Structure 1
């Protein structure tokens, strides 16, 4: 008998719980009908606070003299524009498709010029025959094979070997 009472009370409890859930659903108000509303104007955004950057080091200022300033044409019809930062000597703005990064140039041990985003989101690499913009946060190339007029000049004046290794 004990098992039968347990089974009956379990069935009763489940039935009661199910009926309570149905009752709760029936008592909820119907969702309001959506009416056409005029689109809201975009919210006004506060102007960005002036960026506080450390003064450029002598190494950074030397690296800044190597930066190819101006427009570089990239793959897929993209272009990157590099301009000196108007308020911070030794820093640059890099713009691609309306997005701008403030970067700090540094010469790497390989001779490549690294322009590191001060917020740690991007990296612009300038090497002898091209440049590329990387998204360092997500780990992929944003723009590749970016060629500045100075890249074209350098490629035209130097004989390039197939892989850059001289034969003995």
Structure 2
């Protein structure tokens, strides 16, 4: 009897497999296992487009226009001082240059050009014999002596450029050196400047040959 029941159960299972019901049961059992798996990782949100951080520079502020200075009429002393100034190019230290020209509009004034700047100067003779070219705006001062010239910033009291020599000053330097050499050969002591001065009488007497009696 038990053998008959087993045979009937076997036949029932074969029928279920042929009808596809067993496949559905297997799929149903697999469904919970699939549901237990973690959901796929959500896609990362798209990064926002980078902001335009480029700084657009505006045009630099325009420099204020220079204030026109009314130049007073030059007197005779100023005209004479202007005639004593050396015109043209000066060769200065550190391969710099200065150019001095007459003012194009007002007689008795000079224009001093240095590093793309032009200063209008009023010539004045000092008591020491040096020629002062005074900036009409009070900003700079150029001093001319026999063997060189220099440009100064009067606001800070410093030299802007030094050892400026014009061809005429170069000639004076060469003449002074020749005079110093001649003076030394003649027993005359040369001074530290461009001029020469006689040596003291006692020094000359000491170097002179004794007179035979």
CA distance in 2, matches of 1:112, 1:87: 25
SS in structure 1 of the partner of residue 129 of structure 2: coil
CA deviation after TM superposition for structure 1 residue 59, in Å: 0.4
Partner of 2:111: 93
Unaligned runs of 5+ in 1: 1-32
Matched, 1:108 2:126: yes
CA deviation after TM superposition for structure 1 residue 45, in Å: 5.5
CA distance in 1, matches of 2:80, 2:129: 13
Matched, 1:163 2:182: no
CA distance in 2, matches of 1:136, 1:50: 20
Question: Any idea what the Cα deviations from partners look like across 1:84-131, whole Å, max 9, x if unmatched?
Answer: 111111011111111111110011000000000111111100000000
TM-score normalised by structure 2 residue count: 0.58
Matched, 1:36 2:55: yes
Is contact 2:130–2:145 with CA below 8 Å preserved after alignment?
A: yes
Partner of 1:51: 69
Partner of 2:207: none
Unaligned runs of 5+ in 2: 1-51, 181-189, 201-213
CA deviation after TM superposition for structure 1 residue 80, in Å: 0.9
Structure of greater Rg: 2
> Alignment RMSD, CA only?
2.2
Say if 1:50 and 1:120 are closer, same or farther in 2 by CA, change over 3 A: closer
CA deviation after TM superposition for structure 1 residue 50, in Å: 4.0
Show structure 1 runs of 4+ deviating over 6 A: none
SS in structure 2 of the partner of residue 115 of structure 1: strand
TM-score normalised by structure 1 residue count: 0.73
CA deviation after TM superposition for structure 1 residue 157, in Å: 2.1
Size of the aligned set, in residue pairs, is 136
Matched, 1:119 2:137: yes
**1:66-85 mapped onto 2 (5 Å cutoff):** 66-85=84-103
Q: Which has the higher contact order (CA 8 A, sep 6+)?
A: 1
